[in-house]
Amino acid sequence: MEPDNLPSRRAEDPLRALAREDLDPLSVAELDLRIAALEAELARTRARRAAAARFRAEADQLFGRKVP
């Protein structure tokens, strides 16, 4: 995804800064560490999204709201 297409809530969004970083000076080992860190962040983000979706579904069920 291009940095300009990333969603942002702040003027200096860390995700945008991360996407603009020059990867050329990094070694293979450094790139492997970066990939591992990004994969861990993806897992954390996915877990948070799943928890939020469960919470929303429970609230919708409790209050009788129909979700399309």
**Radius of gyration of the CA atoms of the chain, in A:** 18
pTM of the model: 0.68
- 1 or 6: which leads in pLDDT: 6
Task: Say if CB 44 and CB 52 are below 8 A apart.
Answer: no
pLDDT in tens, 27-61: 999 999 999 999 999 999 999 999 999 999 999 99
